[in-house]
Amino acid sequence: MKNLTLVIPAKHEEYSLPKVLEEIKNIKCKKLIVLSKSDTATIRSIKNYKCRIIKQKYNGYGNALIEGINNVKTDYLCIFNADGSFDPKYLNIMLNKSMLNKSFVFASRYTKAGGSADDSLLTLIGNKIFTLIGKIFFKLNISDILFTYIMGQTTKFKRLKLSNSDFRICVEIPIKIKINNFKYQSIGSFERKRLGGKKKVNEFIDGYLILLELIMNYLNPYEKS
Ligand SMILES: Nc1nc2c(ncn2[C@@H]2O[C@H](COP(=O)(O)OP(=O)(O)OP(=O)(O)O)[C@@H](O)[C@H]2O)c(=O)[nH]1
Ligand SMILES: [Mg+2]
């Protein structure tokens, strides 16, 4: 997997990230951690691991992905969480599919062989509703719009010209993939529980922002980039 970079956004993940890096240490790909310079605990926690650290100029999950993607030099990249919820066993199959079809590959919790140990009833219902809105508003043929375990060619990720610095980027990515007529497919994936530390997503505030993003884009769609 020499042609792959994992873009790993991290915020206060000093408990989980070292364990994640331990689990993936034998995977021969580049690991790019994107965090805030004030997050000294996380920086200290991974000092024994081979990875590149980028300190964000701005804040937020979306901004971490944007700054990470802009710094990738390999042909392929995959968004990968620092909390242990993404199982790395899917990386190989996702990369092979992406290379074979030159397509984006979405990992999905809600298709065959998928599942989640992390969903609450609220997040399950929310995820299903947002995925349905994605289907109705944008004809998005994906079964899990918010998982954001996504593999693809770096050039195409860069062409999306992503702009949201918060969790709205989770829906911006698939919408822009669709608008640009890029190929995409899904594979089933099981979401594990986060290893430790605190959840950063607020179901109500971030859920509201994501809903707003879907509606705004339906009324005034992004331009093809
Ligand atoms: N750099 C950076 N990373 C972030 C920020 N917010 C979240 N992250 C990271 O983005 C990933 C996803 O965030 P999570 O808190 O796990 O979101 P979630 O998966 O919906 O929540 P859980 O159900 O608790 O796992 C994790 O690796 C976080 O550390 C942020 O503001 N800046
Ligand atoms: Mg998580």
The predicted pLDDT at position 216 comes to: 96
pTM summary value: 0.97
The atom number, within ligand 1, closest to the CA of 198 reads 24
Check if 200 has its Cβ closer than 6 Å to any atom of ligand 1: yes
Under 8 Å between Cβ of 80 and 8: yes
> Residue 191: CB partners within 8 Å, gap ≥ 6?
85, 86, 87, 109, 115, 116, 117, 118, 119, 147
- How far apart are the two ends of the chain, measured CA to CA in Å? 29
What dihedral do alpha carbons 159, 160, 166, 167 form, nearest 10°? -130
Which regions of the chain are under pLDDT 70?
Answer: none
Q: Mutate which of 23, 35, 43, 200 to test ligand 1's pocket (most atoms within 8 Å of Cβ)?
A: 200
The predicted pLDDT at position 48 comes to: 96
The atom number, within ligand 1, closest to the CA of 39 reads 1
Q: Mutate which of 23, 43, 61, 145 to test ligand 1's pocket (most atoms within 8 Å of Cβ)?
A: 61
What's the 66 CA to ligand 1 centre distance in angstroms? Answer: 14
Q: Mutate which of 83, 86, 170 to test ligand 1's pocket (most atoms within 8 Å of Cβ)?
A: 83
Check if 83 has its Cβ closer than 6 Å to any atom of ligand 1: yes
Residues shown for the chain: 225
The atom number, within ligand 1, closest to the CA of 56 reads 1
The predicted pLDDT at position 225 comes to: 85
The predicted pLDDT at position 112 comes to: 93
Which ligand sits nearest to residue 119's alpha carbon?
1
Atom 9 of ligand 1: nearest residue by CA position:
10
Q: Catalogue the long-range contacts made by 162-166 (C-beta closer than 8 Å, 24 or more residues apart).
A: 162/62, 162/65, 162/66, 162/69, 163/66, 164/62, 164/213, 165/58, 165/59, 165/60, 165/61, 165/62, 165/63, 165/66, 166/60, 166/61, 166/62, 166/206, 166/209
The atom number, within ligand 1, closest to the CA of 17 reads 27
Check if 118 has its Cβ closer than 6 Å to any atom of ligand 1: yes
Q: Which two tokens stand for residue 50?
A: 């081979």
Which ligand sits nearest to residue 10's alpha carbon?
1
Check if 68 has its Cβ closer than 6 Å to any atom of ligand 1: no
184 vs 102: CA distance, rounded Å: 9
